[in-house]
């Protein structure tokens, strides 16, 4: 799972053995249901947008103000 600096599904991290439930509750910030990021990560609009995408699933499309600035034209 890496360093957990990007939003991830907590259930997947636990199932893979990357984290325990205790670590998830105490060392990570919950952004959405089952979507977490390491506590030391600065939660910006871009991080929240990525977390929303993780929550919604791989087929989701972000538009408007939730789209990270680097992808806008």
Q: What is the per-residue pLDDT across 15-37, written as a single tens digit (0 to 9) for each?
A: 999 999 999 999 999 999 999 99
Give residue 59's pLDDT band: very low, low, confident or very high (50, 70, 90): confident
Q: Within a domain: residue 3?
A: no
Position 66 confidence tier, pLDDT thresholds 50, 70, 90? low
pLDDT of residue 73: 46
User: What is the token pair recorded at 56?
Assistant: 């919604």
Give the range of the structural domain holding residue 50, as residue numbers without chain letter. Answer: 8-71
pTM of the prediction?
0.79
Average pLDDT score over residue span 56-68: 73
Which residue is associated with the tokens 């087929």?
59
User: Which tokens hold the place of 59?
Assistant: 């087929």
DSSP string, 4-71: --S-EEHHHHHHTTS--HHHHHHHEEEEETTEEEETTS---HHHHHHHHHHHH-TT----GGGS-GGG
Do the domain assignments include residue 2?
no
* Total number of domains in the chain: 1
Cα of first residue to Cα of last residue in the chain, in angstroms, is: 32
């Amino acid at each position: 799972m890496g360093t957990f600096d990007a939003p991830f599904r907590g259930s997947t991290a636990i199932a893979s053995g990357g984290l325990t439930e205790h670590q998830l509750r105490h060392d990570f910030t919950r952004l959405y249901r089952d979507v977490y990021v390491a506590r030391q990560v600065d939660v910006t609009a871009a991080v929240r947008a990525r977390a929303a995408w993780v929550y919604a699933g791989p087929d989701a499309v972000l538009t408007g103000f939730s789209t990270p600035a680097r992808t806008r034209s």
